Each structure stands twice: as structure tokens, then as C-alpha cells.
Amino acid sequence: MKVFYWIAYGLAYLTSLLPLRLHYFLADVLVFPLVFHILKYRRALVQRNLCDCFPEKSEQERQEIERKFYHWLADYMVETLKEFSISRREMMRRMEFVNLAEVEAEMERSPEQHCFLYLGHFCNWEWVASLPLWSHRSTMFGQIYHPLHSPMMDRLFFHIRGRFGATNIAMKETLRVLLHWKREGHSSMVGFIADQAPKIEAMHHWTEFLHHDTSFFTGAEKIGGKLGARFFYLEMTRPRRGYYRAELREMHPEVPTPEQPFPVTDAFARCIEQSIRSQPHLWLWTHNRWKRTRQDWENYKAGPSARK
């Protein structure tokens, strides 16, 4: 396995050394035709998702979004490959975190020393791992991850996500690591990609999202409450090809109530939906986000007899 990993790593690294403009050329003439026309990678799922999420749009509008999405997906693939060797200077030229310094300065003046950054599979979330490059303080930066099914791919992504100083934290280790940082007196800024579908046994909260009754992870909100963390939505935009802009927007949800027990999660759902509606082709439509319905979940809770 180690031999296969180093072969894969070597090939990825050598390929990543190509100029980014050449990567984009390959995305246009090779990757896009392959995934869109030849493999037709999950196109039926993408078309169904777009139809269900944008019933107000015409078929022609949805087809345009679909095609632009696959062009962006090809770009995402080559941009992620480029991350194996992209320099710090080049990354800082292409990524922009517009108000990180202000948020860190506020953290120093505040008893709340922990910030949770909510983001989705929107724009290039992999490049967000470069966030520590913009910090001039002793903040600990972390990103929560769920191990991939392929051990080799998991190891490759683990490498590129930690290249610029962020700590990869396995989902099940989140609370333990953050409590350790707190005991050590460190301030922290931790990113959660929070728009994926939980497993059915981890579904605890449902909210309206893109015309669907949708379940979201609530673990980040629970852990943040224990730590007294501040919650931010990382709003990403793509001004032009190969350039991303990220702004930390603090979420100020209502106090939890029995009717609304997870207001931060609900606030994130509204934020990411607004981003998707603004630039719909930049979200990961190939993800089978609604494979589990609320009825499936209720049947699961009711027990085996209800699932017959």
C-alpha cells in the first residue's frame, strides 16, 4: 500500500507542477468532455437535483446551470491537483480572506477564544485550508474531516489539506482536540463543511433547504455551545476563474427554544442556500443530498416493524 501511495503521490505532484493555465486548458479539452459527455458522471442525479431545487427555472436555464457546473467541477479537480505543489505566494494571490485580521483582533479582546467557520461544498473548499497563511497571530487552525473510503485517497487529501498549517481533525476526535486546545490556552478557528447528508442514525434536526425538508449535522453547534464559540459563515465567491474570495460573516441566531433547538444550524442553511441561489453552478450537485427523506428517518426511529 505504501508503494502505491508514493507512486500516486509522485504522479500527482509532478502533474501539479504544470502552470495553472495549462491545468485549465486540460480541464476544458480533456476533463470536462470526459465527465460530461463520455462518462456522463452522475448527470441524471444532477438533473434531478436541479429540477427539484429550482422548479421556478425553465428547462433551458437548468441545462445551462448543469453545463456550467460540470465546467466548474473540472476546474475544481485541476485546482485540487495543483494544491500538491502550489506555492504560498501563489495561493495568497488567488485566495482572499477579506476580514480575518479583524475577527482575530476581536478574539484577542473577547473572552470567546474559539470561532467555528461553517462552509459548504461550494466554490473550492479545498483551498480554504490555506487560511493559516493570512494569520499573524498564534491562532490554532483546524478543519474537521471524515475519512474517505479509499485509504490512499484519504492520505493524499490529508496531505494537501495540511500543507499550509491547518490541523486535520477526525470528526469523532473534534471535542477532545478542541478541549485540549482550550486547556492549553490556545485560541482556535475551526472549519466545518456542514452541508453534507448525515447518516440516518445521526439525523437529529430538519430544516427547509432548497425546497426540501433537509437534515443537517448538529454536532458543530453542540460542541460550539460547550466551548462558548462564536459562529461564522464563510461566504465564498469566485470573482473569476482561479480566484476566490472568502468573507467571515458572523451568524447571530436566536436563543434555542423547544420549537427551534438548533438556530445556528438553521442560520447556516439559510446562508448556504443564499450562496447557491446566487451562483448555483458552484455547488456540488453530484452529491446525493436527499437520498434519505424525513419519512425514512421517522420509519427508522419507529423500529423494524415500521420499516416492513
Q: Which amino acid is at 181?
A: W
The Cα 71–Cα 74 span in angstroms is: 5
Distance set, CA 155 to CA 10, 87, 264 (Å): 13, 20, 32
Tell me the mean pLDDT in the region 130-147: 91
Is the pLDDT reported for residue 295 higher than 80? yes
Q: Is 97 helix (H, G, I), strand (E, B) or coil?
A: strand
DSSP 3-state percent helix, strand, coil across the chain (nearest 5)? 55, 20, 30
pLDDT tops 70 at residue 218: yes
Residue-wise pLDDT tens digits, 248-285: 999 987 888 888 899 999 999 999 999 999 999 999 99
| Higher per-residue confidence, 192 vs 300 | 192
- Given a cut of 90, whether residue 177 has pLDDT beyond it is yes
CA Rg, the chain, in Å?
Answer: 20
168, β-bridge pairs: 143
- Which candidate, 154, 246, 159, 231, places its Cα nearest to that of 190? 231
Neighbours of 211 (CB within 10 A): 13
Q: Are 277 and 264 in contact (CB under 8 A)?
A: no
The pLDDT tens digits for 109-121 are 877 789 999 999 9
CA–CA distance, 54 with 62 (Å, rounded to integer): 8
Torsion of CA 93, 98, 104, 106, to 10 degrees: 160
Q: How confident is the model at residue 147 (pLDDT cuts 50, 70, 90)?
A: confident
Question: How many angstroms separate the CA atoms of 210 and 103, rounded?
Answer: 30
Using alpha carbons only, what angle is made at residue 31 by residues 29 and 33, rounded to the nearest 5 degrees? Answer: 65
- Write the pLDDT tens digit of every residue in 55-111: 999 999 999 999 999 999 999 999 999 999 999 999 999 999 999 999 988 888 877
Q: What is the pLDDT of residue 284?
A: 98
The pTM assigned to this predicted structure is: 0.94
Look at the chain and count its residues. Answer: 308
| Spatial separation of the C-alpha atoms in residues 15 and 4, rounded to whole Å | 17
